[in-house]
Structure 1
């Protein structure tokens, strides 16, 4: 974007229009998409979850000052199998999970702003291949 000094614009016969910043429209609302794996997939070994965001950039910045940044930034909160604990993920790279027991699993990705307010959640359900023991059934 080029800015033109107002008196110069007038001298050149240009009309300047100022547009006020407003709240994001629906098209600008941050959105999270899980690209893979698909729901109900049967997986072996490592689980690689690929995702992308729209209208928000994943960034390891937190707090009120980070919330003011343009473009909008945020991070992910990731609980696995409805556990009470979760981890905060600040990378755009795929998530890689290893060591999950055979059987069904659920991973939720919560898209959060720099103050940890969840904006949107997406969940992927999958099954790890292998023999389930009674200890590992969900």
Structure 2
């Protein structure tokens, strides 16, 4: 089942159960997916493009969450946490720390990187492998750790 079909099905369920929060998030994601398709001039997005849009939505909320926590806006923090919980359902399963570290080490060997100067080369080869399955900050920290 494609992401859009799944979103449509979950949207119907949210309407029936009168879950306004979930319905709002699903509509927002659907709009983002449609906007991306229009931007790319396509009728349908590939699975990778859908994951990119979902990752962007999650990242925006995490960034906002950090800002709201610093500002002491607990009401908005709670709302964003709820939105993130809804979005996480549609994200691919996250890699464990061990799996991620193994992929990082494997990629470093593949590109024959030996110093931090080659971090860009490693990240360029690594990010498509872990797209949507790991946090970029965590990936960056692991690469730095193994290239030092």
With normalisation by structure 2, the TM-score equals: 0.21
More helix by share: 2
Higher strand share: 1
